[in-house]
Chain A
Amino acid sequence: MTRYQQADSTAATLLIEQISSRLYGFFVAQVRDHHEAEDLVQDSWLRIHKARHTWRPGEPVLPWIYAIARRAQIDAYRKKQRIGQRELPKEELGEIPGRNREPSLPDLSELLQALPPQQRETVFLLKVTGLSLEEVSRATGASIGAVKQRAHRAYSTLRTLFGAES
């Protein structure tokens, strides 16, 4: 990241290659539309590039990137709302895996649709991206306690989708 700030194009290429898939996964889990997710990845990179001077050496990179990506997603959502597009009705989103699910595992992004947006984002950042509680708290602007609570609620909801608890 420091080399990216110093205009090293090799470092920029490496960073884009490493981070883009993570961002894409993050957006797919949120919006469930691959084209929209790709647009969001592009928009996020534009913002990251413009804001690259706000990352300071010694600070964690991923929370900084996800905070910018979150903003891109929120803005895109608001823009979509403003121009009158509606989200797909629930029936069109496909079935949320339930107790009588198929033997094959559901896709993570499908499963996460069972959660409210904040919980979905928290689970993705914590479990899929592997950020720590503090990093998720910094990326989302929520307190560590709130992140823990959201994660716990999310796992409770997800666990009930896979049958009774022991």
Chain B
Amino acid sequence: MNCRDLKKLLAEGAPLPPQARTHASECSGCRSLLDVLEQPTRPVSPALVNAITASFTREMVRVTPLPSDRVLMWIAFGFFAAFSLLLTSAVGFRGFHVLSPAERIVYYTLICVFGLLFSASAAPALIPAAKIRIRPSAVAFACVLVIAVAAMLMFPAFSLNRFVSLGIPCLRLGCLCAALYGLLATFLVRQGFVADPKCTALYIACFGGFSGIAVLSLHCPFLNAPHIIVWHLGSMAVSAVAGALIGLSFARRA
């Protein structure tokens, strides 16, 4: 056992074995380090503790804990599905009707899978220190990649005819969905406690952008890979940038 091993053990956060204590008793530097780290912290003034206790115990109200991660995931997914279907019913299901049954199964299965993955990342957005099972950034990245590949394989029409004029309305609708979703989801997230405004805003924006992709997949009848990759997936990119900026401004204003 040497100083290097001791540092490694400390970094592991595990209790120190007897060999480490033996090394520390022989090495003045390590002994001093351990002594400092193990010295008791100063207690807080009893007056402050009494003041805090008095202010809280006066108005105690029973609260119900938030549901489990699994329940939160299904709530988030239900909200996403209801929002996407409701908004599409307002603009029309033209995209759904032009797809063949096989294409519908593949495309909407992908949308549901990523919807579930985004929903599975909901807990850390509203619960402090919740276990992060899936990073929303990883889901967003995988979602863009998989949908882009699926679009290239399923809709191999690469015509750029009226590329911009057909694309702008899709991007506009996608961004509108993301903004609406963001507003509604913010209200839901506020039922919890936002421990990291930047990450939460980015998460809501990415999920909102994804709801835009879902609405466009049901509404847009243009089965053209470049159109889907640039204008449909672009709505998620635009909303992610907007979410990052909003998150930064919230974090600064906090």
Our pick among A53, A78, A151, A159 for the contact of B29 (Cβ within 8 Å) is: A159
Taking the nearest CB of chain B, how far is it from the CB of A59, in angstroms?
8
The answer, yes or no, to whether B90 is at the interface (CB within 8 Å) is no
The answer, yes or no, to whether A106 is at the interface (CB within 8 Å) is yes
Closest to B69 in A: A56
Interface Cβ pair total, 8 Å cutoff: 177
Q: Considering the complex, which residues of chain B in the window 127-144 have a beta carbon less than 8 Å from any beta carbon of chain A?
A: 127-132
Closest to B35 in A: A105
Residue pair B33, A162 in contact (C-beta under 8 Å): yes
Closest to A2 in B: B65
Closest to B31 in A: A162
Q: Considering the complex, which residues of chain B in the window 146-191 have a beta carbon less than 8 Å from any beta carbon of chain A?
A: none
Q: Chain A contacts of B124 at CB under 8 A?
A: 141
A123→B38 CA distance, assembly (Å):
12
The answer, yes or no, to whether A120 is at the interface (CB within 8 Å) is no
Residue among A6, A50, A131, A166 with the highest chain B CB neighbour number at 10 A? A166
Q: Considering the complex, which residues of chain B in the window 32-58 have a beta carbon less than 8 Å from any beta carbon of chain A?
A: 32-33, 35-39, 41-45, 48-49, 51-53, 56-57
| A56-B65, A75-B254, A159-B30 known; A133+B12 contact, CB < 8 A | yes
Residue pair A51, B13 in contact (C-beta under 8 Å): no
Q: Chain B contacts of A42 at CB under 8 A?
A: 48, 51-52
Among B105-113, B192-200, B202-210, B218-226, the one that faces the other chain is B192-200
Residue pair B63, A126 in contact (C-beta under 8 Å): no
Q: Chain A contacts of B27 at CB under 8 A?
A: 166
The answer, yes or no, to whether B126 is at the interface (CB within 8 Å) is yes
Taking the nearest CB of chain B, how far is it from the CB of A78, in angstroms?
6
A165→B128 CA distance, assembly (Å):
39
Given contacts A28-B42, A67-B129, 6 further A-B contacts (CB under 8 A): A5-B62, A7-B61, A16-B56, A24-B43, A52-B63, A159-B3
Could you name 11 residue pairs across A and B whose Cβ atoms are closer than 8 Å? A17-B49, A20-B48, A42-B48, A45-B56, A54-B128, A56-B67, A127-B10, A141-B132, A148-B11, A148-B12, A162-B28
| Chain A residues within CB distance 8 Å of chain B | 5-9, 12-13, 16-17, 20-25, 28-29, 38, 41-42, 45, 47, 49-57, 59-60, 63-64, 66-68, 70-71, 74-75, 78-79, 82, 105-108, 111, 123, 126-128, 131-133, 135-136, 138-139, 141, 148, 151-152, 155-156, 158-159, 162-166
